Structure 1
Amino acid sequence: MAASDVSDLVRPWNLGTPTEVTRPDRGTNNLVWLVQVAGDTFVLRVHRNAGLEQIALEHVLLAELGRRELSFAVPAPIPAHDGRTVVPTNLGPASLYRRLPGDHPPRDTAGLMLTGQALGELDAALADVDAELAPIDWRRALNAIHPAVPDLDELAADLDRELSSSAETTWFERQVRDIDARVREWRTKLPTQVIHCDFGPSNLLVENGTVTGVLDFELAGLDLRAFDLAAALGQSTDELATEQVEAFRAGYDRFITLSAAEGAALPDLVAQRALGSVIWRAGRWRQGLSTVAEVADRLTSAYRLAHCGL
């Protein structure tokens, strides 16, 4: 997209004419640009997975977190000239933020300890947030993860056909039939709260050894507290490598002490999250927003992750 087109997208914010427009080297769900205007850098996001109402609720949650005494920043949506923080465009709902300082941390021991510590601090703060502020209620079955995938048996058959029958497709077909029952049981026993739901080094900013920002609250919603840790371990480690998990947990445990039951639930939660990731990508594939190769990559990663021990 040309810089002039991005200038049209940011016009509702009366920023002036951008002097430079670039795309960050990450992100597969939304359209994101870094926009420089008069020496300031802004992040323009065009949302592809959420509507105006959900994004507005996300912004309410961000405002609530912005009032907490966190050691790091969270994105603060900038109101457009009419006061709205999310604006409809021909590409989808758009929102604008000032760029937060920092870079993504490495997956070494120090970086993972910082990542785990940031999640622990965030989850401790989110525990005090009213559940009514959750933009999404994730306490749902896998067939409600993505609107384009209501029938998991049908998806399993599609994957078996498109990707050729394999250990991965067989595992997917079997797991989607019983993981919901196990997770449903855990949801009757374990603490529920608002969680980030997509936490990992790619959504964290660090500068000079200090966490400066936590990003991407688009999937934040209501679910088991332990799901945040399960999702983060899957995204932050190399297939749950023991040393990496230990480093992450050392940071997380500074703020959150999981119960024995939550610890026992983690393998099921990791598996459910991995399956959900495949289903989400498959839904985007059916919508023409992802390729079948991307679905295959998610399936392979999910299969390997679910077969690692915690």
Structure 2
Amino acid sequence: MAVFTQVPLKDAHTLVQRLQLGELQALRGIEGGIENTNYFVTTDQGEFVLTLFERLTAEQLPFYLHLMKHLAHAGIPVPDPRPDQHGEILHRVCGKPAALVNRLQGKSQLAPQAVHCAAVGDMLARMHLAGRDYERQQPNLRGLPWWNETVPVVLPYLAPEQAALLQSELAYQNHVAASSAYTALPRGPVHADLFRDNVMFDGDTLTGFFDFYFAGVDTWMFDLAVCLNDWCIDLATGQHDTSRAEAMLRAYQAVRPLIAAERELLNAMLRAGALRFWISRLWDFHLPRQASLLTPHDPAHFERVLRQRIAQPLAL
């Protein structure tokens, strides 16, 4: 989250009034993230988050917003987009498509233990199952086609050794995607960006998943791999943490057991998750956009994670 578009108080007030959410009391820009403009909105009826979408189009956005509605209705703790009197959940603020959702309680757990990883694994599996009957379709927009398009753009900024790794891993992932095992992987709506800062906890109790704006239809195993690559590693080195990973996988499988093809491709998906975020961080770092409160993430982190995943494959 970041602030690319400055929202005047009067514009926020107009939206709050239209959604019948009481009187606006405070509006505060949110630091962090790299995609959209975000503000905390306080009214006399509660706390909300206002998002102005800087890259996603009005045609793409219904997939994300209605997915959150669908999951919230199914009992998954996610932000619930607020409708106007006509039931419309996609709004417009400062000329940008926008949404207003309830603010989740709790705080992010940035130093997770096994208990937190187990809670994420359990809820992730429940979310996947809850999304099976979601009818809207939209691919993961940061999936393999985007990797193939973006790698040539970032290659000129890399040292020869980095460029060789990036190209060889991309070739490997294209090979995996053409395999029969990959075709057999279960799929459906995925979060695709469920990092530590996109989950809320109250103590050890998980209170919500948020920031669904990288969601899309993809393999559930890719979604799980993204989580394992963030929740279950040492951030300084990128090294795998066995106890946390086992807790997450055990909790996930208690709700939705993995099939044979998923077990076979666990390591390939862990590598895919690392590659995806290495590419996107290279892109954001070397080709940045201007934004207040914007700090690009270090791309070297996911280079380390990818190297660790290649050197030390896991066994299920």
Is TM-score (shorter-chain normalized) higher than 0.5? yes
Of 84, 91, 96, which aligns to 1:92?
96
Contact 1:231 1:273 in 2 (8 A): yes
Aligned to 2:29: 23
Q: 1:91 & 1:242 partners in 2: Cα distance?
A: 48
Aligned to 1:113: 118
Post-superposition offset of 1:150: 2.6
Q: 2:83 & 2:170 partners in 1: Cα distance?
A: 42
Aligned to 2:14: 11
Residues 10, 115 of structure 1: alpha-carbon distance in 2 compared, 3 angstrom cutoff = farther
Aligned to 2:277: 277
Aligned to 2:194: 199
Contact 2:191 2:212 in 1 (8 A): yes
Aligned to 2:73: 67
Aligned to 1:177: 171
Aligned to 1:34: 40
Q: 1:177 & 1:241 partners in 2: Cα distance?
A: 27
Under a length normalisation based on structure 2, what TM-score does the superposition of the two structures give? 0.81
Residues 282, 305 of structure 1: alpha-carbon distance in 2 compared, 3 angstrom cutoff = closer
Q: 2:22 & 2:7 partners in 1: Cα distance?
A: 12
Q: 2:225 & 2:9 partners in 1: Cα distance?
A: 37
Q: 1:231 & 1:87 partners in 2: Cα distance?
A: 30
Post-superposition offset of 1:227: 0.9
Post-superposition offset of 1:25: 4.3
The answer on 1:217 being equivalent to 2:212 is yes
Aligned to 2:262: 262
Contact 2:182 2:261 in 1 (8 A): no
Contact 2:112 2:231 in 1 (8 A): yes
Q: 1:60 & 1:93 partners in 2: Cα distance?
A: 15
Under a length normalisation based on structure 1, what TM-score does the superposition of the two structures give? 0.82
- Secondary structure, aligned partner of 1:137: coil
Residues 231, 35 of structure 1: alpha-carbon distance in 2 compared, 3 angstrom cutoff = same
Residues 7, 236 of structure 1: alpha-carbon distance in 2 compared, 3 angstrom cutoff = farther
Post-superposition offset of 1:80: 3.4
Contact 1:42 1:97 in 2 (8 A): yes
Aligned to 1:304: 304
Letter in 2 for 1:159: Y
Contact 2:47 2:103 in 1 (8 A): yes
Letter in 2 for 1:107: P
Residues 144, 247 of structure 1: alpha-carbon distance in 2 compared, 3 angstrom cutoff = same
The alignment-based identity, stated in percent, is 22
Contact 2:34 2:296 in 1 (8 A): no
1:40-85 per-position Cα deviation (integer Å, ceiling 9, x unaligned): 21111112231112222212222222221x3x42111112355432
Identify which range, 16-25 or 36-45, moves more after superposition.
Answer: 16-25
**CA RMSD for the aligned pairs?**
2.9
Identify which range, 229-238 or 3-12, moves more after superposition.
Answer: 3-12
Post-superposition offset of 1:290: 7.1
Aligned to 2:154: 155
- Secondary structure, aligned partner of 1:254: helix
Q: 1:301 & 1:263 partners in 2: Cα distance?
A: 26
Letter in 1 for 2:163: T
Q: 1:301 & 1:81 partners in 2: Cα distance?
A: 45
5+ long unaligned stretches in structure 1: none
Residues 62, 168 of structure 1: alpha-carbon distance in 2 compared, 3 angstrom cutoff = same
Contact 2:150 2:279 in 1 (8 A): no
Q: 2:6 & 2:34 partners in 1: Cα distance?
A: 20
Q: 1:218 & 1:81 partners in 2: Cα distance?
A: 24
5+ long unaligned stretches in structure 2: none
Q: 2:173 & 2:125 partners in 1: Cα distance?
A: 26
Contact 2:278 2:303 in 1 (8 A): no
